[in-house]
A and B are shown apart, each in its own frame.
Chain A
Amino acid sequence: MSNTTPTLTGETPPPAPSAAETRSVEAQAARRKAKLRGGGKTVLFHGITWALGIVMLYPGVWMLLSSFRPSNQIIGEVGLIPRETTLGNFTRAFEGIGGVSFWTFFSNSMILGIGSVVGVCLSCSVAAYAFARIEFPGRKLYFGLMIGTLLLPFHVVIIPQFIMFNELGWTDSYIPLLIGKFLAAEAFFVFLMVQFMRGVPRELDESARIDGAGHGRIYWFIMLPLMRPVLATASIFAFIWSWNDFLAPLIYLRSPDKYPLPLMLRQFSDQTSVSDYGAQMAAAVLALAPVIIFFMLFQRYIVDGVATSGLKG
């Protein structure tokens, strides 16, 4: 895997049209013909993509609009436009569950999300600097091990980790959920940052070394400011993954007032059951809203980040 990704980084610019135009006469004729067909093709293209787009968007839009419907009008409703609208679903969703308000769950998720972002940006960039810029014996071995953890199923480590954190008395706290972020355990981000750093000209840090700067100064004053784009990409993903994470909080957290949103949603949908689909929809919308807003603001960054690094959603 490691040898396929570098080809993905740095898209080559499209070939200049001037080079193509000096091609053979046949190619030019073919292009003219293609241009004539182009109008019909464009219509077809937009038709297909729009149809597909509607299918892709339908669940999300349906969820959003259903959250405004009275509960008894949600199931079996195929159309999108609500016949009656109500805000009652949101009132019930904001009330939260078991005496804990929605905002408690929301701020728990925020703490975990921001903690993840800080941890990932600090620890992964430091590790990536060691891999990309410091030459020391054993580096290649460690890099190989780091890449290996990319392919490792998470489940093989959760059981001993659970026993360990339990022995340490850290369960029902956020330490087990955040410690990996501060110890660069998310190899994807380390790899992403190594790839980025390899693109930064070496002359920059070499000239700093001549001026007597050590690795600490080079990392902090030269590399870190240059890394802003890749730190942004990593932050977005670290935040969203933490926001959507379900398994780790499910294992480690016991007190409902420490739950992040995914656990609240699960509890909520279990207890409200079939009877109150409206409140479930509203809660689901509220839990997803930050991610959706994030995505709309940074969509270019996110999508390009995926293309260059192969990150998963």
Chain B
Amino acid sequence: MSLTHEASRESANSTPARRPRNGRPPRRGAETRAGYAFLAPWLLGFITLTAGPMIASLYLSFTNFHPIRDWGWVGFDNFTRLFDDPRFMDSVQVTGLYAVVGTPIKLAAALGVAMLLNNRRRGQGTYRSLFYAPSLIGASVSIAIIWKAMFNDQGIVDEIGQFFGMKPGGWVGNPDMTLPMMILLAVWQFGAPMVIFLAGLKQIPNELYEAAEVDGAGPLRKFFRITLPMLSPVLFFNLVLETINSFQVFASAFIISGGKGGPANSTLFYTLYLYQRGFGQGQLGYAAAMAWLLVIVVGIITLIFFKTSKYWVHYGGETR
């Protein structure tokens, strides 16, 4: 009901955009009706599963909502309490470090391997698939279990580390080593950005490199003067996606720490703490405040990326 009403109202004040096709006058009303009919499932999903819940979680974030206990409006209490909560601050630090350190390493690995694979050589497709595979399974519980076994006390990584003169003792139980371990897991999944880099590299015209070679440019110069600028839109795309992704690690941290985020909160990722508060302790209002803070931070970071992009992202064919 409300849908068709909205549709007719909108069509009334919109500009006539459609050109007549094949001499027939455009059937605006029919088109609008068809448009909303096809969009209905998405629209229903958007309202009930995204827009509605977003507003609801904003509202919840100002309450101390708990499914069983009494609840009421608390204003900005949740937000101010967050900053006095040492575990929250730990989760921010863990997640922030993970994103700031992990993302560049992962992207550098992805770009490096993409450039290695960019030459037309036999087996390129096989290597590409091989390096992509971990990206597909990296977030699974299976891999988290393997990772835990590998990095545990007396696990393979420990054994290899001792061979190279590192102190014995696994990474899983050592608060100083859990974050490097998690970053290694993220870097190991460089396949997805790598494949996107590869697609971008293929679009760089070979003539550019040939011309640079004639001018006597070395490999470093070619990389910084041709590859990097030509690849900047793809780099931008990967950077935005990977950064946002890195804020949302959950399953691996949950499995490796047994759902606790330990030792010493060193794997207490933001989403894991959100889960603990919201679904473990039933403090849904507090968790909603955390979720909204995450949205704001992700929004700001995305905005910064987009605003600064004009200084370093070059789109081909764009004249300025």
Contact = CB atoms under 8 A, between A and B. Distances in A.
Contact of A159 (B21, B22, B291): B291
Interface stretch (B73-81, B84-92, B126-134, B221-229): B126-134
A206 B21 CA distance: 8
A134 B113 CA distance: 42
Contact of B294 (A46, A156, A299): A156
Contacts, number: 336
B152 interface: yes
Interface residues of A, number: 114
B146 A284 contact: yes
Interface string B245-287: 1011011001100100000000000010011001100001001
Interface in A30-67: 30, 42, 45-46, 48-49, 52-53, 56-57, 59-60, 62-63, 66
A201 interface: no
B292 A251 contact: no
A155 interface: yes
B34 A280 contact: no
B294 A313 contact: no
Interface in A239-294: 240, 243-244, 246-247, 250-251, 261-262, 265-266, 269-270, 277, 280-281, 284-285, 287-288, 291-292
Contacts of A127: 38-39, 41-42
A306 B41 contact: no
Interface stretch (A4-12, A84-92, A226-234): A4-12
Contacts of B214: 24, 26-27, 30
B136 A310 contact: no
A169 interface: no
Interface stretch (A96-104, A110-118, A135-143): A135-143
A107 interface: no
B135 A156 contact: no
B113 to A, nearest CB: 7
A14 B17 CA distance: 39
B237 A185 contact: no
A206 B18 CA distance: 14
Given A45-B121, A160-B60, A63 B146 contact: yes
B94 interface: no
B145 to A, nearest CB: 5
B213 A27 contact: yes
A interface secondary structure, majority: helix
A199 interface: no
Given A7-B315, A155-B271, A308 B199 contact: yes
A120 to B, nearest CB: 11
A156 B279 CA distance: 14
Contacts of A224: none
A124 to B, nearest CB: 8
A83 interface: no
Nearest to B252: A246
B234 interface: yes
Interface stretch (B96-104, B174-182, B188-196): B188-196
State the 7 A-B residue pairs at the shortest beta-carbon distance, nearest first: A183-B45, A313-B135, A136-B35, A130-B38, A160-B56, A160-B53, A137-B14
Given A30-B210, A136-B31, 5 more contacts: A49-B116, A155-B248, A160-B60, A184-B42, A269-B255
Interface of A: 1, 3-5, 7-8, 11-12, 14-15, 20, 23-24, 26-27, 30, 42, 45-46, 48-49, 52-53, 56-57, 59-60, 62-63, 66, 74-78, 123, 126-127, 129-131, 134-139, 142, 145-146, 149, 151-164, 166, 179-180, 182-185, 190, 206, 209-210, 214-216, 219, 240, 243-244, 246-247, 250-251, 261-262, 265-266, 269-270, 277, 280-281, 284-285, 287-288, 291-292, 295, 299-300, 302-303, 306-308, 310-313
Interface of B: 7, 10-11, 14, 17-18, 21-22, 31-32, 34-39, 41-46, 48-54, 56-57, 60, 67, 113, 116-117, 119-121, 123, 125, 127-143, 145-150, 152, 154-156, 158-160, 188-189, 191-192, 195-196, 198-200, 202-203, 205-207, 210, 213-214, 233-234, 236-237, 240-241, 244-245, 247-248, 250-251, 254-255, 258, 271, 274-275, 278-279, 284, 287-288, 290-292, 294-295, 298, 302, 313, 315-316
